A and B are shown apart, each in its own frame.
Chain A
Amino acid sequence: MISYHQITLKVNGETEVVNVPANMTLLVMLREEMGLTGVKNGCAAGECGACTVLMNGEPVNSCMVLAAECDGAEVITVEGLSHNGQLIKLQEMLIAKGGVQCGFCTPGMLISAFALLKRNPDPSENEIREALVGNLCRCTGYVRIIDAVKASVEK
Chain B
Amino acid sequence: MAVTDKMPELIGKSPLRVDVHGKVTGAAIYTDDIQFGKNLLYARVKRSPHPHALIKKIDTSKAEALPGVKVIVTGKDYPQRIGLYLKDKNIFATDRVRFVGEAVAGVAAVNEEIAEKACELIEVEYELLEPVFDSIYGASPDAPLIHPDMGDYEVANFIFPKPGTNISNHFKARKGDVDRAWKDCAAIVEKSFHIPQVQHVPIEPHIAIAKTDDNGRVTLWASSQSPFAQRNLIAKTLGISESDMRVIAPYVGGGFGCKAGVTMEAMPVAIALKAKGHPVKMRFTREEEFYTNFVRQGLKIKLKVGCDKDGNMLAMENTMYWDGGASTEYGVNITRAGGYSSTGPFDIPNVKTDSFCVYTNHPIGGAYRGFGMSELHTGIGQVMDELAEKIGMDKVEFLKRNSIQGGDINVTGMKMHPIGLQECIDKVAKGINWGVKEKASSDNKLRGKGIAISWKAPAMPPNAGSSAFIEMNEDGTATVNVGGQEIGQGAFTVAAQIAAATIGLPMEDIRIAGPLDTQYSPYEWQTVASRLTWSMGNAVRFAAADARRQILEMVAEAWDEDVDDLDIINGIVVSYRSEKEMSLKNIAVYGIPKEDDQGWIGGPVVGQGSFMPSYVTGLDPETGQGPRAVVHYTTGAQGFDIEIDKDTGKIEILKAVTAFDVGRALNPELVKAQMEGGMMQGISSAIFEEIILEEGVMQNPSFVDYRIATTVDVPRVMETYFVEVPQDDGPFGARGIGEHPMTPTIAALGNAIYDATGIRLEGPPFLPEKVYLAMKDAGILD
Question: How far, in whole Å, are A94 and B16 apart by their CA atoms in the complex?
Answer: 11
Question: How far, in whole Å, are A128 and B204 apart by their CA atoms in the complex?
Answer: 24
Size bin of chain A's contact surface: 35 or more
Quick check: B703 and A48 within 8 Å, CB to CB? yes
Quick check: B285 and A138 within 8 Å, CB to CB? no
> Which among B201, B203, B251, B680 has the highest number of chain A CB atoms within 10 Å?
B203
Q: Whole-angstrom distance from the CB of A65 to the nearest CB of chain B?
A: 18
B: number of interface residues (CB 8 Å): 55
Which of A77, A95, A135, A142 contacts B714 (CB under 8 A)? Answer: A142
Quick check: A140 and B676 within 8 Å, CB to CB? yes
Quick check: B286 and A137 within 8 Å, CB to CB? no
Quick check: A78 and B711 within 8 Å, CB to CB? no
A42 with B718, Cβ < 8 A, contacts A100-B17, A130-B712 known:
no
Which of A36, A102, A105, A132 contacts B487 (CB under 8 A)? Answer: A102
Quick check: B702 and A47 within 8 Å, CB to CB? yes
Q: Whole-angstrom distance from the CB of A62 to the nearest CB of chain B?
A: 13
Quick check: A136 and B33 within 8 Å, CB to CB? no
Which of B21, B35, B203, B670 contacts A40 (CB under 8 A)? Answer: B203
Quick check: A138 and B676 within 8 Å, CB to CB? no
Question: How far, in whole Å, are A56 and B436 apart by their CA atoms in the complex?
Answer: 54
Quick check: A44 and B285 within 8 Å, CB to CB? yes
Question: Across the two chains, which residue of chain A brings its CB closest to B712?
Answer: A129
Which of B27, B200, B673, B708 contacts A101 (CB under 8 A)? Answer: B673
A22 within 8 A of B: no
Question: How far, in whole Å, are A137 and B712 apart by their CA atoms in the complex?
Answer: 12
A121 within 8 A of B: no
Interfacial chain A residues near B672, Cβ < 8 Å: 98
Interfacial chain B residues near A130, Cβ < 8 Å: 711-712
Question: How far, in whole Å, are A81 and B23 apart by their CA atoms in the complex?
Answer: 13
Interfacial chain B residues near A59, Cβ < 8 Å: none
Quick check: A103 and B28 within 8 Å, CB to CB? yes
Interfacial chain A residues near B256, Cβ < 8 Å: 138
Quick check: A110 and B24 within 8 Å, CB to CB? yes
B32 within 8 A of A: yes
Question: How far, in whole Å, are A48 and B251 apart by their CA atoms in the complex?
Answer: 19
Q: Whole-angstrom distance from the CB of B745 to the nearest CB of chain A?
A: 11
Question: How far, in whole Å, are A42 and B203 apart by their CA atoms in the complex?
Answer: 5
Quick check: B703 and A45 within 8 Å, CB to CB? yes
A153 within 8 A of B: no
Chain B stretch 677-692: residues in CB contact (< 8 A) with chain A: 677-681
Question: Across the two chains, which residue of chain B brings its CB closest to A82?
Answer: B25
Q: Whole-angstrom distance from the CB of B709 to the nearest CB of chain A?
A: 8
Interfacial chain B residues near A16, Cβ < 8 Å: none
Quick check: A137 and B714 within 8 Å, CB to CB? no
Which of A106, A135, A142 contacts B23 (CB under 8 A)? Answer: A106
Interfacial chain A residues near B203, Cβ < 8 Å: 40, 42, 48, 50, 102, 104-105, 136-138
Interfacial chain B residues near A48, Cβ < 8 Å: 203, 286, 703
Question: How far, in whole Å, are A66 and B150 apart by their CA atoms in the complex?
Answer: 50
Q: Whole-angstrom distance from the CB of B200 to the nearest CB of chain A?
A: 8
Quick check: B718 and A143 within 8 Å, CB to CB? yes
Which of B19, B286, B669, B679 contacts A103 (CB under 8 A)? Answer: B19
Question: How far, in whole Å, are A141 and B711 apart by their CA atoms in the complex?
Answer: 8
Chain A stretch 74-118: residues in CB contact (< 8 A) with chain B: 77-79, 81-82, 87, 91, 94-96, 98, 100-107, 110
Q: Whole-angstrom distance from the CB of A114 to the nearest CB of chain B?
A: 12
Quick check: B23 and A103 within 8 Å, CB to CB? yes
Interfacial chain A residues near B17, Cβ < 8 Å: 95, 98, 100
Interfacial chain A residues near B200, Cβ < 8 Å: 138
Quick check: A140 and B23 within 8 Å, CB to CB? no
Q: Whole-angstrom distance from the CB of B204 to the nearest CB of chain A?
A: 5
B778 within 8 A of A: no
Question: How far, in whole Å, are A38 and B26 apart by their CA atoms in the complex?
Answer: 4
A17 within 8 A of B: no
Q: Whole-angstrom distance from the CB of A145 to the nearest CB of chain B?
A: 8
Interfacial chain A residues near B604, Cβ < 8 Å: none
Chain A stretch 16-45: residues in CB contact (< 8 A) with chain B: 31, 35-45
Question: How far, in whole Å, are A153 and B255 apart by their CA atoms in the complex?
Answer: 32
Interfacial chain B residues near A41, Cβ < 8 Å: 32, 205
> Which among B17, B21, B23 has the highest number of chain A CB atoms within 10 Å?
B23
Quick check: B286 and A37 within 8 Å, CB to CB? no
Q: Whole-angstrom distance from the CB of B736 to the nearest CB of chain A?
A: 16
Interfacial chain A residues near B251, Cβ < 8 Å: 102-103
Question: How far, in whole Å, are A107 and B22 apart by their CA atoms in the complex?
Answer: 10
Quick check: A95 and B703 within 8 Å, CB to CB? no
Q: Whole-angstrom distance from the CB of A123 to the nearest CB of chain B?
A: 12
Quick check: A141 and B32 within 8 Å, CB to CB? no
Quick check: B25 and A78 within 8 Å, CB to CB? yes
Binary flags per residue of B240-272, CB closer than 8 Å to A gives 1, else 0: 000000000001111110000000000000000
B763 within 8 A of A: no
Binary flags per residue of A122-155, CB closer than 8 Å to B gives 1, else 0: 0000001110111111111111111000000000
Which of B28, B33, B711 contacts A142 (CB under 8 A)? Answer: B711
> Which among A42, A44, A94 has the highest number of chain B CB atoms within 10 Å?
A42
Interfacial chain B residues near A100, Cβ < 8 Å: 17, 20, 23-24
A95 with B16, Cβ < 8 A, contacts A140-B673, A142-B680, A143-B676 known:
yes
Chain B stretch 3-25: residues in CB contact (< 8 A) with chain A: 16-17, 19-25
Interfacial chain B residues near A39, Cβ < 8 Å: 26
Q: Whole-angstrom distance from the CB of B685 to the nearest CB of chain A?
A: 11
Question: How far, in whole Å, are A77 and B669 apart by their CA atoms in the complex?
Answer: 29
Interfacial chain A residues near B30, Cβ < 8 Å: 37, 40, 104
Question: How far, in whole Å, are A40 and B710 apart by their CA atoms in the complex?
Answer: 18
Quick check: B703 and A102 within 8 Å, CB to CB? no
Interfacial chain B residues near A142, Cβ < 8 Å: 680, 709-711, 714
Question: How far, in whole Å, are A78 and B33 apart by their CA atoms in the complex?
Answer: 14
Q: Whole-angstrom distance from the CB of A142 to the nearest CB of chain B?
A: 5
Question: How far, in whole Å, are A111 and B490 apart by their CA atoms in the complex?
Answer: 23
Quick check: B23 and A42 within 8 Å, CB to CB? no
Question: How far, in whole Å, are A98 and B710 apart by their CA atoms in the complex?
Answer: 18
Question: How far, in whole Å, are A26 and B488 apart by their CA atoms in the complex?
Answer: 27
B465 within 8 A of A: no
Quick check: B20 and A37 within 8 Å, CB to CB? no
Quick check: A138 and B708 within 8 Å, CB to CB? yes
Question: How far, in whole Å, are A129 and B713 apart by their CA atoms in the complex?
Answer: 9
Interfacial chain A residues near B49, Cβ < 8 Å: none
Question: Across the two chains, which residue of chain A brings its CB closest to B25?
Answer: A82
Quick check: A144 and B702 within 8 Å, CB to CB? no
Quick check: A141 and B677 within 8 Å, CB to CB? yes
Q: Whole-angstrom distance from the CB of A50 to the nearest CB of chain B?
A: 6
Q: Whole-angstrom distance from the CB of B522 to the nearest CB of chain A?
A: 23
Interfacial chain B residues near A95, Cβ < 8 Å: 16-17, 20-21, 24
Quick check: B24 and A98 within 8 Å, CB to CB? no
Question: How far, in whole Å, are A100 and B23 apart by their CA atoms in the complex?
Answer: 8
Question: How far, in whole Å, are A135 and B703 apart by their CA atoms in the complex?
Answer: 12
Which of A77, A103, A128 contacts B488 (CB under 8 A)? Answer: A103
Question: How far, in whole Å, are A39 and B254 apart by their CA atoms in the complex?
Answer: 16
B65 within 8 A of A: no
Binary flags per residue of B53-82, CB closer than 8 Å to A gives 1, else 0: 000000000000000000000000000000
Additional 17 contacts, C-beta under 8 A, given A37-B29, A136-B703, A142-B709? A37-B26, A37-B32, A42-B205, A43-B286, A43-B703, A44-B285, A47-B703, A48-B203, A50-B203, A98-B673, A102-B251, A102-B253, A103-B22, A138-B708, A140-B673, A141-B676, A142-B680
Q: List 28 A-B contacts (CB under 8 A).
A: A31-B33, A38-B27, A41-B205, A42-B286, A43-B205, A47-B702, A47-B703, A47-B704, A78-B24, A78-B25, A87-B24, A91-B24, A98-B672, A100-B20, A102-B202, A102-B252, A103-B28, A103-B251, A103-B253, A103-B488, A104-B203, A105-B203, A135-B711, A137-B203, A139-B254, A141-B714, A143-B714, A144-B676
List B residues at the A interface (Cβ < 8 Å). 16-17, 19-30, 32-33, 35, 200-205, 251-256, 285-286, 487-490, 669-670, 672-673, 676-681, 702-704, 708-712, 714, 718
9 cross-chain pairs, A with B, having the tightest CB-CB distances, nearest first: A38-B26, A141-B680, A102-B488, A104-B253, A103-B23, A101-B488, A47-B703, A37-B33, A78-B26
